[in-house]
A and B are shown apart, each in its own frame.
Chain A
């Protein structure tokens, strides 16, 4: 339970389309994420304006709502721009807005770029997120090396299949580990999810549409859980993960089955759909 009693804030996380400005996120402590959506918008607005000024005045506390996952940066900090092409554009080609933005960046405060974010052409945000989820104890070096070994294993397996296949089959075999990875995770994303909602003293599993980031998160989480827990102890992670990714790419395997189970449960509980109020 993470309480910032000094700030004592209880800002609720809004459902989209009111997007977060990148500063404060709070949660209904002890419950799942969708209950963040429970607060009315009025309280939200007040909460945001208080925070924007970074005032540590007494703010009325809402019972049960505490703040988690906040950022040290106040809202005027802008995200860093790591795209090399942005800086390489010659002055003549810039439009008015871009010139204006570049002028602004000279005076505005910019957040520090995270260590893992580079201007490399080979960088992929999905892979970075997956590496972060695989990381344990802050050992990014190990997580990254496991990821690269996985990609290499996927590539080698596909090359083996390619060389063993006939000419017409060769055109269908995908050898790019990055396309396989992205497609596999996309195949594992559930379309609809279940959420426990409290009604009359009981929690009911209510089918609910999921935002895109939750779907991506669930796909990656299921993939990692499957590899970590359901496999033989002595097999190495790259081997397990490459096998699971290839199966998911072909819409087979335990992770796809888990997605289908989730869909079936949602279908079975469709009578409870009216419990959802957002």
Chain B
């Protein structure tokens, strides 16, 4: 039993996140190939090599195992931070380990086989609360960052439609509203994440910010971002320009574009922001939401769009709603149609065992009864194999 469990969960491997796609006949020599194109200072932890007698056809063999994201990658790949509880776990354990699960594997397989000549495919991660949609999205983002894709990542679209202070009337379009604070923080994260692309991509039009300032055609995209960061009033427009340029230039093939939005149902939901006359505004009146909606349409090619739905931060949606139709509403569903829905569900028995094993190896489960079979059965019962609930349970045990 112990052997089986340890074979299922070797110590986390600091491998290429997409390694798990290419299991099977390659076996150990495949592992060596992937280790070669690693960042040199990564090293697999002891006992992380798969055993020699792994059967072929083994993408599914990697299910349930943890893989580690190097800590130095975290500020560049996730500049706005990770989801709160996962961030606490990373800080406590001094390592960022994600479990490889079936929905993420499926998504990585699709992304690997993307035809960049076809319009961008939209993938929608949906599921019950706490099943791991956001972390699957993080896994995909790290995979694409490793593959050198350009990532446009919105960590939580719900933050753009509620509790915003400092709304301004947009200078570009009188009907829409600007959100300088949110736009400038997003620009800062975008700059940290995609530093190397900002000098390579050149804009294709001249943009006049005001009578005195403008950015000419052919200047690097970094200048638009700088303008947005220095002049906070123009930040929302800068975001719109960046998204527009990326969309038009992704077709050229110079880079691959990944658009990742968490809480995507906020784009088509309702807001709690008020206009000057205290009436609630619709999301399309926000310039940021408007530009993001244009970004997730499938009228461009050269990349992919991955969205995760979330009821937790959403406004005016019932608590038990988790399906795309319920969360997106008719308008959102029609806008996203056709998309590839990917269900993220609770842990399978193998994954649950792997998760508990991971906690035991890190000495996170300190209660002496948690190490026993009785304790594990009770954890399974109390959490119902829900990853979020299990994490909260194990936090105080």
A177–B366 contact, CB under 8 A? yes
The answer to whether A177 and B92 touch (CB under 8 A), given A120-B378, A121-B375, is no
B372 in contact (CB, < 8 A): yes
* Interface segment, one of A64-72, A154-162, A214-222, A257-265: A154-162
A86 → chain B, closest Cβ, in Å?
A: 14
CB-nearest residue of chain B to A119: B378
- Asked whether A155 lies within 8 Å of B396 as measured between CB atoms, the reply is yes
* Contact assessment for B369 and A122 in the assembled complex, using a CB-CB cutoff below 8 Å: yes
Q: Mark A112-124, 1 if CB is under 8 A from B, else 0.
A: 0000000011100
The CA of A217 and the CA of B366, in the complex, are separated in Å by 26
Whole-angstrom distance from the CB of B97 to the nearest CB of chain A?
Answer: 15
State A151–B375 Cα separation when bound (angstroms): 18
In Å, the complex CA distance between A178 and B363 comes to: 14
In the assembly, what is the distance between CA of A277 and CA of B106, in Å?
79
Is B58 on the interface with A (CB-CB < 8 A)? no
Asked whether any CB of chain B lies closer than 8 Å to the CB of A81, the reply is no
Q: A175–B396 contact, CB under 8 A? A: no
Which of A120, A148, A149, A155 has a CB less than 8 Å from the CB of B366?
A155
Cβ contact within 8 Å between A177 and B378: no
- Please tell me which one of the listed residues B92, B93, B367, B395 contacts residue A178 in the complex, with CB atoms under 8 A apart: B367
> Measuring CB to CB, which residues of chain A are less than 8 angstroms from any residue of chain B?
120-122, 148-149, 151-152, 155-156, 159-160, 163, 175-178
Q: Which of B92, B363, B367 contacts A122 (CB 8 A)?
A: B367
**Hey, which chain A residues are within 8 Å of B93, CB to CB?**
159
A177, B363: Cα distance in complex, Å: 12
Contacting residue for A160 out of B92, B369, B375, CB 8 A: B92
Q: Known contacts A122-B397, A148-B396, A163-B94: does B369 contact A176 (CB below 8 Å)?
A: no
Are B88 and A177 touching (Cβ within 8 A)?
no
CB B99 to nearest CB in A, in angstroms, measures 20
Q: Contacts of B370 on A, CB cut-off 8 Å?
A: 122
Interface centre among A122, A148, A160 (most CB of B within 10 A): A122
Within 8 Å CB of A149, what residues of B? 396
The CA of A176 and the CA of B375, in the complex, are separated in Å by 16
Residues of A within 8 A of B92 (CB): 156, 159-160
**Beta-carbon nearest neighbor of B88 in chain A:** A156
Q: Does B374 contact A (CB under 8 A)?
A: yes
**What are the residues of chain A within 8 A of B374 when measuring CB–CB?**
121
Within 8 A of A (CB), among B368-388: 368-370, 372, 374-375, 378
Given A148-B396, A151-B396, A156-B92, A175–B366 Cβ distance below 8 Å? yes
Question: What is the bound-complex CA distance between A159 and B88, given in angstroms?
Answer: 12
B378 to chain A, nearest CB (A): 6
A43 to chain B, nearest CB (A): 46
Taking a contact as CB atoms under 8 Å apart, the answer to whether B395 and A155 are in contact is yes
How long is the Cα–Cα vector from A163 to B94 in the complex, in angstroms?
A: 8
Q: Are A121 and B94 in contact (CB under 8 A)?
A: no
Question: Once bound together, how far apart are the Cα atoms of A177 and B370, in whole Å?
Answer: 13
Question: B395 to chain A: which residues have CB within 8 Å?
Answer: 148, 152, 155
Q: In the docked arrangement, what's the CA distance between A149 and B396, Å? A: 7
Q: How large is the interface on B (under 10, 10 to 19, 20 to 34, 35 or more residues)?
A: 10 to 19
Q: Which residues of A contact B366 (CB under 8 A)?
A: 155, 175-178
CB neighbours of A175 from chain B (8 A)? 363, 366
User: Are B369 and A121 interface neighbours, CB within 8 A?
Assistant: yes
18 contacts between A and B (CB under 8 A): A120-B378, A121-B369, A121-B374, A121-B375, A121-B378, A122-B367, A122-B370, A122-B378, A151-B396, A152-B396, A155-B366, A155-B396, A156-B88, A163-B94, A175-B363, A176-B366, A176-B367, A176-B368
Query: Which chain B residue has the least Cβ–Cβ distance from A84?
Result: B374
A159–B90 CA distance with the chains assembled, in angstroms: 12
A-B interface, 9 closest residue pairs, ranked by CB to CB distance from nearest: A176-B366, A148-B396, A151-B396, A121-B369, A152-B395, A152-B396, A159-B92, A121-B374, A156-B92
Query: Which of B368, B370, B372 has the largest number of chain A CB atoms within 10 A?
Result: B368
**Shortest CB distance A71–B (Å):** 31
**Shortest beta-carbon distance, A267 to chain B, in Å?**
38
Closest B residue to A154 by beta carbon equals B396
Q: How far is the CA of A198 from the CA of B114 in the complex (A)?
A: 89
Q: Bound complex: CA of A103 vs CA of B88, how far in Å?
A: 52
Chain B: minimal CB distance from A161 (Å): 11
Closest beta carbon of chain A to B295's beta carbon, Å: 38
User: A121 near B363 (CB under 8 angstroms)?
Assistant: no
CA distance A120 to B396 in the complex (A): 15
Q: Closest Cβ of chain A: how far from B220's Cβ, in Å?
A: 41
Interface centre among B368, B369, B375, B395 (most CB of A within 10 A): B395
Query: Measured between alpha carbons, how far is A124 from B370 in the docked complex, in Å?
Result: 13
- Bound complex: CA of A235 vs CA of B346, how far in Å? 35
In the assembled complex, the CB of A158 is this many whole angstroms from the nearest CB of chain B, namely: 9
8 A Cβ contacts from B87-107 to A: 88, 92-94
B contact residues around A159 at 8 Å (CB): 92-93
Known: A155-B366, A156-B88. 15 other contacts (CB 8 A): A121-B375, A122-B367, A122-B378, A122-B397, A148-B396, A149-B396, A151-B396, A152-B395, A152-B396, A156-B92, A175-B366, A176-B367, A176-B368, A177-B366, A177-B396
Q: How far is the CB of A170 from chain B (nearest CB, A)?
A: 11
Docked complex Cα distance between A155 and B370 (Å): 15
Contact A121 B396 (CB under 8 A): no
CA distance A148 to B389 in the complex (A): 13
**Interface residues as binary, B14-29 with A (CB distance below 8 Å gives 1, 0 otherwise):** 0000000000000000
A152 neighbours in B (Cβ, 8 Å): 395-396
In whole Å, how far is B251's beta carbon from the nearest beta carbon of chain A? Answer: 48
**Shortest Cβ gap from B110 to chain A (Å):** 37
Which residue of A is nearest B368, CB measured?
A176
The smallest C-beta distance from B224 to any residue of chain A, in angstroms, reads 41
Q: In the complex, what distance in Å separates the CA atom of A177 from the CA atom of B395? A: 10
Taken together as a complex, chains A and B put the C-alpha atoms of A160 and B89 apart, in Å, by 11
CA–CA, A246 and B110, complex, Å: 50
B102, chain A: closest CB distance, angstroms: 29
Residue picked from B93, B367, B372, B378, most chain A C-beta under 10 Å: B367
Task: Give the CA-CA distance A79 to B92 in the complex, in Å.
Answer: 43
**A151–B395 CA distance with the chains assembled, in angstroms:** 8
Residues from chain B with a CB closer than 8 A to the CB of A160 are 92
